[in-house]
Amino acid sequence: MGDVLVTYKIMPSGVDVNFEKMKEEVKNRVGDIGKIAEFDLQPIAFGLKALVVKIIVKDEGGITDKIEEELSKIKGVQGVVVEEVSLI
């Protein structure tokens, strides 16, 4: 099995979320499961931004759901969506 690059869009609960703290929390929660490839902020509307994170993980069944569940537990996160999964 190879590796996959999974792109998650993390929607914050409001415009006043500290994205630097959120990035650190993402690193802490994903560190044992995969490797962070990239962070990006994506404008949504009216000052609201989403944190987009790309994570490299092993191609295993259920790994994307496990990461999604972990990311959903972060304070200030309203929702997490898998945007893309690609084999690398």
Q: Convert the pLDDT of each residue in 72-83 to its tens digit.
A: 999 999 999 999
For residue 10, list its beta bridge partners. 51, 80
d(CA 63, CA 43): 27
Beta strand 48-58 with 3-12 is antiparallel
Q: Using one digit for the tens of pLDDT, what is the confidence trace for 55-69?
A: 999 988 889 999 999
Domain count, the chain: 1
In three-state secondary structure terms, 72 is: helix
Provide the CATH number for the domain around residue 30: 3.30.70.60
On the question of pLDDT at 9 being above 90, the answer is yes
Amino acid (1-letter code) at residue 21: K
What is the residue range of 31's domain?
Answer: 3-87
